[in-house]
Chains A and B, each alone.
Chain A
């Protein structure tokens, strides 16, 4: 059973090796678990899991191994969203309870999925729909003897309950997360080289030179380490990008605060890049900069980061005069401009706020992915994009 935990964790992608496992066994030998599941839960987590990122996966595996609880139901996120704050539970009469008890688990499961398919809005209280605080067998915080609890916090504090609660879900890095984590991801952009004025005392050289000089102190200076990274940010604004205001603004804040970047420029566009990009998000004609100008001003060593959902009408991308901005006539199709950008700069990456699963459903996204390596705008995605910009070359 213990080994199930070990292999379960490995299967769930939690990095656990023999060393951690031995550490746990050692602590068990010392009787640290004090024969309680709660202590065992704390101990095994402290020994086996080395980052809060994996706590959620650990909780899931622990719950499965130690109660045979089947993997948590993967319900649409939205449903979980309303189940997260249940309303007060209704009190049931004895007859109602008896009636409800007749349902078996598999029947319930079947009807749960059927009900979920029929239902189309949030629901609290009541006796049929999936919701909170109701008498329906499905949902959260409700009164039903054999019901299916769907997400949300548990009521009692046992190890199983704690594990089942999955309180660490927010720490998973595959979700779009907060500013601090974005900053951590971006920190990898640092690429230190020595350049500029010699202003730092080089102690080793000083000693060597002093010795060579017969004990007469000879100070040697060297240039300090500096980040040599230059970053060009191109951002899609307006329209389909509006819902992503929050994550994009976090990325921007983090980029501005990243002091390690030597030079940073950002320009805006709407949907696709044509003859002009804009200095401000208002995309006013007076702020326009010819895209060709970028190639003149910035050499190929600049790293390019494009932020956009890459979702547009195929004509906007692929046809001449495809620009939907009524103020200008763009003879060259957008895709040509994108090709030129990818060709001029050595490294580029595209961050897409849309869910990765839907990328392939949009034609324009599929086409753009052939030109730019595309990553999701999440903490993991940003790390990967940074890797694509400074690490080993990856195929678009």
Chain B
């Protein structure tokens, strides 16, 4: 973390490698105090970004994992009516104090926090269509009123809001307009090597080359329905290392395919390729020019 000109600057962390464009987007969102909307293929580290921004900037983090049943108001606070009703019925506790039954949600907690926090709203697209619109005002002003008590909760320090989306549905324009947007591209060869090094250092460079060649080749196969992503690559390398496989063994076939392909049809498609006597690439030059710059 570094703080210059009065605002925070994020530069990535030792365990999390970021592309320059993502660094710019994160810093822009921090400086403008706007929510940062992150999209990208599953497995490209969208959720991890928030954790790493928090740890790099030394801020506590609140996360809100959205489900299809999530409602915007739940993020602010929940008024536990059923508990109160129950207490009134059976005479437990002080029913007249409504505040006892108001529980802040992640948004409420991060607004009321003493210091600046990182707030992660994960997979916002899973919720109902209207969900993002319901949050517009709160995210803009970073304040809300608890209706039942009339208490106002206002953020002393505007939290750094990071929102992720898997593109399951379109987000409303009004919401998008308020966000800084970044799309995480799939990492290219050089960046990928750095990312792998973070998780598996001391990996033999020739072995790594073989691994990445096979991996990118697999991603180029158009008949795959779900292309393997970074997190699958990391798992796959773990499996390879544990089994102590050598670089030569990797040249002619792809072991532990199930770590990379999670879909039956995809595994079948690839085994058909094997049956046809298809050859696997062994050098970068066997792949397209994208990998040989």
Q: Does A19 contact B (CB under 8 A)?
A: yes
Decide: A50 and B37 in contact? CB cutoff 8 A: yes
Decide: A46 and B182 in contact? CB cutoff 8 A: yes
Q: Whole-angstrom distance between the alpha carbons of A329 and B179 in the complex?
A: 62
A13-66 residues with Cβ-Cβ distance < 8 A to B are 15, 17, 19-20, 23, 26-27, 30-32, 38-39, 41-43, 45-47, 49-52, 55
Of B26-34, B106-114, B144-152, B251-259, the one contacting chain A is B26-34
Q: Does B137 contact A (CB under 8 A)?
A: no
Decide: A152 and B169 in contact? CB cutoff 8 A: no
Decide: B289 and A86 in contact? CB cutoff 8 A: yes
Chain B contacts for A181, CB-based, 8 A: 167
Task: Select from chain A the residue with minimum beta-carbon distance to B22.
Answer: A42
Q: Whole-angstrom distance between the alpha carbons of A155 and B183 in the complex?
A: 22
Decide: B176 and A19 in contact? CB cutoff 8 A: no
Q: Whole-angstrom distance between the alpha carbons of A49 and B28 in the complex?
A: 14
Size range of the interface on A? 35 or more
Q: Whole-angstrom distance between the alpha carbons of A47 and B179 in the complex?
A: 8
Decide: B289 and A46 in contact? CB cutoff 8 A: no
Q: 1/0 per residue A63-106: CB within 8 Å of B?
A: 00000000000000000000011100000000000000000000
Decide: B5 and A31 in contact? CB cutoff 8 A: yes
Q: Does A207 contact B (CB under 8 A)?
A: yes
Chain B contacts for A15, CB-based, 8 A: 173
Q: Whole-angstrom distance between the alpha carbons of A151 and B225 in the complex?
A: 27
Task: Select from chain B the residue with minimum beta-carbon distance to A179.
Answer: B225
- Minimal beta-carbon separation of B169 from chain A (angstroms): 6
- Minimal beta-carbon separation of A205 from chain B (angstroms): 12
Chain A contacts for B177, CB-based, 8 A: 17, 19-20, 50
Give the number of residue pairs across the A-B interface with Cβ within 8 Å.
92
- Minimal beta-carbon separation of B185 from chain A (angstroms): 7
Given A15-B173, A26-B32, A217-B89, verify A52-B183 contact (CB < 8 Å).
yes
Of B80-88, B231-239, B271-279, the one contacting chain A is B80-88
Q: Does A210 contact B (CB under 8 A)?
A: yes
Chain B contacts for A141, CB-based, 8 A: 289
Chain A contacts for B21, CB-based, 8 A: 41-42, 45-46
Q: Does A167 contact B (CB under 8 A)?
A: yes
Decide: B28 and A43 in contact? CB cutoff 8 A: yes
Task: Select from chain A the residue with minimum beta-carbon distance to B5.
Answer: A31
Decide: A43 and B168 in contact? CB cutoff 8 A: no
Given A153-B290, A187-B168, verify A47-B176 contact (CB < 8 Å).
no
Decide: B293 and A207 in contact? CB cutoff 8 A: no
Q: Whole-angstrom distance between the alpha carbons of A171 and B186 in the complex?
A: 13
Decide: A23 and B32 in contact? CB cutoff 8 A: yes
Task: Select from chain B the residue with minimum beta-carbon distance to A152.
Answer: B289
Task: Select from chain A the residue with minimum beta-carbon distance to B7.
Answer: A30
Decide: B169 and A184 in contact? CB cutoff 8 A: yes
Chain A contacts for B32, CB-based, 8 A: 23, 26-27, 30
- Minimal beta-carbon separation of A48 from chain B (angstroms): 9
Chain B contacts for A17, CB-based, 8 A: 177
Chain B contacts for A207, CB-based, 8 A: 81, 85
Q: Does B58 contact A (CB under 8 A)?
A: no
Q: Whole-angstrom distance between the alpha carbons of A379 and B27 in the complex?
A: 33
Task: Select from chain A the residue with minimum beta-carbon distance to B125.
Answer: A184
Chain B contacts for A41, CB-based, 8 A: 21
B1-39 residues with Cβ-Cβ distance < 8 A to A are 5, 7, 20-21, 24-25, 27-29, 31-32, 34, 37, 39
Chain A contacts for B288, CB-based, 8 A: 84-85
Chain B contacts for A184, CB-based, 8 A: 167-170
Q: Whole-angstrom distance between the alpha carbons of A20 and B179 in the complex?
A: 9
Decide: A23 and B34 in contact? CB cutoff 8 A: yes
- Minimal beta-carbon separation of B227 from chain A (angstroms): 9
Q: Does B104 contact A (CB under 8 A)?
A: no
Q: Whole-angstrom distance between the alpha carbons of A294 and B167 in the complex?
A: 37
Decide: A49 and B169 in contact? CB cutoff 8 A: no
Chain B contacts for A47, CB-based, 8 A: 28, 180-181
Chain A contacts for B82, CB-based, 8 A: 203
- Minimal beta-carbon separation of B252 from chain A (angstroms): 24
Q: Does A196 contact B (CB under 8 A)?
A: no
Decide: B81 and A32 in contact? CB cutoff 8 A: no
B183-203 residues with Cβ-Cβ distance < 8 A to A are 183, 185
Q: Whole-angstrom distance between the alpha carbons of A120 and B39 in the complex?
A: 41
- Minimal beta-carbon separation of A41 from chain B (angstroms): 8
- Minimal beta-carbon separation of A219 from chain B (angstroms): 10
Chain A contacts for B173, CB-based, 8 A: 15, 50
Chain B contacts for A216, CB-based, 8 A: 89
- Minimal beta-carbon separation of A160 from chain B (angstroms): 15
Chain A contacts for B167, CB-based, 8 A: 180-181, 184
Task: Select from chain A the residue with minimum beta-carbon distance to B225.
Answer: A179
The residue among B27, B31, B288, B289 with the most chain A CB atoms within 10 A of its own CB is: B289
Decide: A50 and B179 in contact? CB cutoff 8 A: yes
Q: Whole-angstrom distance between the alpha carbons of A32 and B37 in the complex?
A: 18
Task: Select from chain A the residue with minimum beta-carbon distance to B185.
Answer: A167
Decide: B85 and A50 in contact? CB cutoff 8 A: no
Q: Does A326 contact B (CB under 8 A)?
A: no
Decide: A217 and B85 in contact? CB cutoff 8 A: yes
- Minimal beta-carbon separation of A168 from chain B (angstroms): 8
Q: Whole-angstrom distance between the alpha carbons of A167 and B28 in the complex?
A: 23
Q: Does A215 contact B (CB under 8 A)?
A: yes
- Minimal beta-carbon separation of A140 from chain B (angstroms): 9
Task: Select from chain A the residue with minimum beta-carbon distance to B40.
Answer: A52
The residue among B85, B86, B181 with the most chain A CB atoms within 10 A of its own CB is: B181
Besides A141-B289, A217-B89, 11 new A-B residue pairs in contact (Cβ under 8 A), listed by A number: A15-B173, A42-B25, A43-B24, A46-B24, A46-B25, A49-B181, A50-B37, A52-B183, A153-B289, A203-B82, A217-B85
List 6 A-B residue pairs with CB atoms under 8 Å apart, sorted by A's residue number.
A38-B20, A46-B24, A46-B28, A153-B290, A181-B167, A217-B85
List residues of B whose CB falls within 8 A of some A CB. Answer: 5, 7, 20-21, 24-25, 27-29, 31-32, 34, 37, 39, 81-82, 85-86, 88-89, 167-170, 173, 176-183, 185, 225, 288-290, 293
Kindly list the 9 A-B residue pairs having the minimum CB-CB distance in the complex, ordered from nearest.
Answer: A42-B24, A50-B176, A52-B183, A46-B25, A42-B21, A85-B288, A50-B181, A46-B180, A19-B177
